[in-house]
Structure 1
Amino acid sequence: MQNPNSVKQFPIYHLEPDETGNKYFRVYNFEGTLPHQSELLIPHRKDHFLIVLVRKAGTRQWIDLQPYILKNNTVYFSGPENIIVKEEFQQLWSTGLAFTSQFLSLQGGEFLLTLPFLQNVQNAHELLLTEPDIAFVEDLLMKINTEYQHPNEWQQRMLMAYLTLLLTYLSRLYTEQYKANDPAGDKILLKKFQSKIDDSFQHCHEVGDYASMLNISAGHLSELIKTQSGKPAIKHIHDRLILEARRLLFHSSKSSKEIAFDLGFADASYFNRFFKRETGITPAQYRNQIREMYH
């Protein structure tokens, strides 16, 4: 039986309303100081997108098991599905934009969710900038910051216009930096399939389950996904299960049996065999290795 609470493995931090009451869009500016917030040391998810231009920093953070020592003049980004841990609290010079999918919807910008930068199918979280990129992004952030500081009847539309330009520009950089593995623009079925997996992987482990959701046959789905991605449909499902298992093994104290239950496995021993088949080591070995490596 599926645990109805298993989707909430980690705390979810909401976008706090600013002084105007806006709970869908915020601008953050740090100039040499970074407030110590102990809850950020806890593995967590956010319910919004976060884009940060780091001008200068020495802080290290983790996004989905990947450590990042923040580089100067670099963009870092995350979305609602990512697990984040901030390790060190040092000085930081940066500007951050936080916005929810509701903000995009309210301003007629749902189409932005299809941009490569927000879809982030490569699970990348760092964009390196050239000097021209820095100038362009800095100029846009300055315009956004100025607009954000002066509420008026046109503010939300102006913020949306600037954000659209920024996300479009960052999507171009994203496809350039990750073009070796970037999927073709017409792979709509693959994106829908991956989205369904993200929503249902804890209780749907078979290709047929997703084929039913997408109203096609399991065989046809398997054929198309293999053509579009280069790997079988079942491998996409297994990879998502393994990613979540690794997250839980690293960030939580749950036993393998508890993790197996959370991921929809009725038999813990089968989960152990599945994990070893996919990774080459047992869950216990993975937990020991990853914690020894990074602690």
Structure 2
Amino acid sequence: MTQPERFTLIDPKTGNLAFQIRTIEKDSLNQVQRLNQYSLIWIKKGKGHVNADFSEYAYNEGAMFCFSPHQPFMLTSVTDLEALVIHFHPDFFCIYKHQKEVACDGVLFNNIYTSPQLTITERDRLKLDLLIDQMKDEMQQQGLAQYELLVSYLKIFLITASRLKTQQQESQLQHISNEKEEPFVLQKLKDFINLHYKTKHKASEYAEMLTMSQKALAKLTKTYFNKTMTDLITDRIVIEAKRELYLTNKTVKEIAYDLGYDDEYYFSRFFKKKAALSPQAYRDSVGVAKPLYT
């Protein structure tokens, strides 16, 4: 492999990383990572496995993994590895604030139902490589409106990846439908969780709404999502808590109450168990939504 590249943009206000493109080699991410940035890891060569949120996923050439701030992951290779990594801080580009534009929240990031992996096809590889080259070039120019142009390139990159993953998810769901005939129940479950996660925190409540036994529901979630119902509910709560911590100035107590927890300290312990840091530490790490430049 050629000498690893690194292109970095620093936030002038904080001195912290805002945006970065770099290449990595074998074993450079073989310890658990909990970064305060979004991360996209695109495997250009090699194979191995990625551990993320206590699950393991095999990868081959062409795989891309998408991780949210402080989402734990570790990449292990079993062959020579070439990979491209993009990091961006929420202050550089906030997927929550730009959801209507790029539609990647719940697809590439914060998707509690599927793997964080997608496969880059040959056709889309050419598009994405071109965008990467344009971003690298812009990061070396430091010209007028550099931030705005880089964000535009990043948006196109995320939209392309989101479309690709959506197509792959639909294909996988169709395969499931043909083999096991369960997608209607799965969609109802997702809808119920999205509607009621703030007020209903027990698996039994969702089993009752779906008119099925807890045992049958547990088997269903394990088969299709490789998670328990409790995991699905708590993951959805934590995603919303992170969104509120970043997008709003609400106190932890207010956020806890909005999510159905009367005891702020119980909620903080619950959040820390899932996110590996307290709500306030998470907010201190990612900040509160604001533009990079004014």
1:28 aligns with 2:45: no
- Equivalence map 1:1-295=2 (5 Å): 21=15, 23-30=17-24, 33-34=25-26, 36=28, 40-41=30-31, 43-80=32-69, 82-88=71-77, 91-105=80-94, 109=98, 111=100, 112=102, 114=105, 116-179=107-170, 180-181=172-173, 190-191=193-194, 205-206=201-202, 238-240=230-232
Decide whether aligned partners of structure 1 residues 129 and 96 sit closer, same or farther in structure 2, where only a CA change above 3 A counts: same
Letter in 2 for 1:29: T
* CA pair 114-69 structure 1, distance change in 2 beyond 3 A: closer
Q: Normalising by structure 2, what TM-score?
A: 0.52
Tell me if the contact between 2:18 and 2:89 (Cα under 8 Å) persists in the aligned partners.
Answer: yes
Letter of the aligned partner of 2:143 in structure 1?
N
Output the CA distance in 2 between the equivalents of 1:104 and 1:64. 23
- In 1, the alpha carbon distance for the partners of 2:139 and 2:195 equals 34
Assess if the C-alpha contact under 8 Å between 2:37 and 2:70 holds in 1: no
Following superposition, the deviation at residue 190 of structure 1 comes to: 4.9
AA partner of residue 25 (structure 1):
F
- For 2:84 and 2:135, locate their aligned partners in 1 and report how far apart those are by CA, in whole Å: 10
Structure 1 pair 35–81 and aligned structure 2 pair: CA distance change class (3 A): closer
Displacement of 1:107 in angstroms is 12
Q: Which amino acid aligns with 2:72?
A: I
Tell me the distance in 2 between the aligned counterparts of 1:189 and 1:67: 27
2:49·2:75 contact (CA, 8 Å) conserved in 1?
yes
Aligned to 1:104, what secondary structure does the other structure show? coil
Aligned-residue offset at 1:123? 3.1
Amino acid at match of 2:116: H
Measured against aligned partners, the alpha-carbon deviations of 1:238-273 in whole angstroms (never above 9, x if no partner) come to 234788xxxxxxxxxxxxxxxxxx659xxxxxxxxx
Q: Return closer, same or farther for 1:173/1:110 CA change in 2, 3 Å cut-off.
A: closer
- RMSD of the alignment, in Å? 4.4
Match of 1:103, SS state, is: coil
| Cα distance, 1:71–1:152 mapped onto 2, change above 3 Å | same
1:150 partner letter: Q
CA distance in 1, matches of 2:16, 2:195: 31
Report the 3-state secondary structure (helix = DSSP H, G, I; strand = E; otherwise coil) of the residue aligned with 1:124. coil
* Residues 116, 174 of structure 1: 8 Å contact kept: yes
Q: Deviations over 1:160-183 (max 9, x none)?
A: 101111111111111111115599
Contact 1:241 1:263 in 2 (8 A): no
Q: CA deviation at 1:158?
A: 0.9
Question: Distance between the aligned counterparts of 1:188 and 1:68, measured in 2?
Answer: 26
Q: Kindly tell me the number of residue pairs found equivalent between the two proteins.
A: 202
Deviations, residues 9-35 of structure 1 (Å, cap 9, x unaligned)? xxxxxxx975984522111123xx347
Counterpart AA for 1:149: Q
List alignment gaps of at least 5 residues for structure 2: 1-7, 174-182, 222-227, 236-268, 272-294
Alpha carbons of structure 1 residues 44 and 134: separation in structure 2 relative to 1, 3 Å = closer
In the TM superposition, residue 46 of structure 1 has moved relative to its aligned partner by: 2.4
Contact residue 107 and residue 160 of structure 1 kept, 8 A = no
Separation in 2, partners of 1:107, 1:45: 20
Determine if contact 1:104/1:110 at 8 Å carries over to the other structure: no
Residue identity matched to 1:239: D
Contact 2:45–2:60 under 8 Å retained in 1: yes
Q: Distance in 2 between matches of 1:154 and 1:93?
A: 32
Separation in structure 2 between the aligned mates of residue 49 and residue 94 of structure 1, nearest angstrom? 16
CA distance in 2 between counterparts of 1:169 and 1:82 reads 22
Cα shift at 1:81: 5.4
CA distance in structure 2 between the aligned counterparts of 1:62 and 1:174, rounded to whole angstroms: 19
Please say if residues 108 and 116 of structure 2, whose CA atoms lie closer than 8 Å, have aligned partners that are also in contact: no
Distance 1:18 1:103, change over 3 A: closer
> How far apart, in 2, do the equivalents of 1:123 and 1:173 lie?
14
Q: Percent identity?
A: 17
Given the superposition, is the C-alpha separation of residues 162 and 145 from structure 1 closer, same or farther in structure 2, using an over 3 Å criterion?
Answer: same
